[in-house]
A and B are shown apart, each in its own frame.
Chain A
Amino acid sequence: GAGVSQSPRYKVAKRGQDVALRCDPISGHVSLFWYQQALGQGPEFLTYFQNEAQLDKSGLPSDRFFAERPEGSVSTLKIQRTQQEDSAVYLCASSLERGWSPLHFGNGTRLTVT
């Protein structure tokens, strides 16, 4: 497809389980971002990759959150020992250039921790 693809679309996890969320950016896009969007709120920055390098992870809320992009394309956001407060929509976005270019967002993964 032409857009940013995220999977799964929905994920239900029991508290304490580990989850992995996948993002397929637009082919050739250098930059990749993860955002967390709580219900009724705006997205909040989690982390930023330029190719395979994670340049900023200042938004990750705890050391239970880990993101990788080993080959500079597909990225995975992993959450260990999920907690109820992790319930949110996780949005991935990519952009073409190292400098600014419009972010293209995926539809997100809605994570519900029970």
Chain B
Amino acid sequence: AQKVTQAQTEISVVEKEDVTLDCVYETRDTTYYLFWYKQPPSGELVFLIRRNSFDEQNEISGRYSWNFQKSTSSFNFTITASQVVDSAVYFCALSEGVDSSYKLIFGSGTRLLVRP
């Protein structure tokens, strides 16, 4: 069965520290997609990244980077030099196959608090 686990419920760091948010997924499909979303206090989910199962290249976007490792079924997210504005709940999500790739399965989220 498909599942996304974010074991870290809450993380607190001081501004400028680096922080890594863990995501472990389970799926039987060979074709799947992994996502990260940010949910600030206002409530809307903001799309950060989408990766497909055939592309294991790590990605960097500014202070954000993602490490995708199929061998450990993990898709971890690192924020470098964290800022107070990074404080939010972060969700990792999975979608499977081609026909149901629109249906996201979310983890329970990691609340990140960045203190000044």
**Taking the complex as formed, is A62 at the interface, i.e. its CB lies under 8 A from any CB of chain B?**
no
Contacts known (A41-B109, A42-B109); A103 close to B45, Cβ less than 8 A: yes
Inter-chain CA distance A56–B101, complex, in Å, is 12
Is the contact region of chain B dominated by helix, strand, or loop, or is it mixed? loop
Inter-chain CA distance A100–B108, complex, in Å, is 23
**Taking the complex as formed, is B42 at the interface, i.e. its CB lies under 8 A from any CB of chain A?**
yes
Inter-chain CA distance A64–B47, complex, in Å, is 31
Contact residue among B33, B44, B102 (Cβ-Cβ distance under 8 Å from A106): B44
Number of B interface residues, CB 8 Å? 21
Inter-chain CA distance A16–B37, complex, in Å, is 34
**Taking the complex as formed, is A87 at the interface, i.e. its CB lies under 8 A from any CB of chain B?**
no
Contact residue among B50, B103, B106 (Cβ-Cβ distance under 8 Å from A56): B103
**Taking the complex as formed, is B66 at the interface, i.e. its CB lies under 8 A from any CB of chain A?**
no
Q: Which A26-47 residues sit within 8 Å CB-CB of chain B? A: 31, 33, 35, 40-45
Contacts of B107 in A (CB 8 A): 42
Inter-chain CA distance A53–B33, complex, in Å, is 24
Show the binding face of A for B, using Cβ within 8 Å: 3-4, 31, 33, 35, 40-45, 48, 56, 59, 89, 91, 93, 100, 102-108
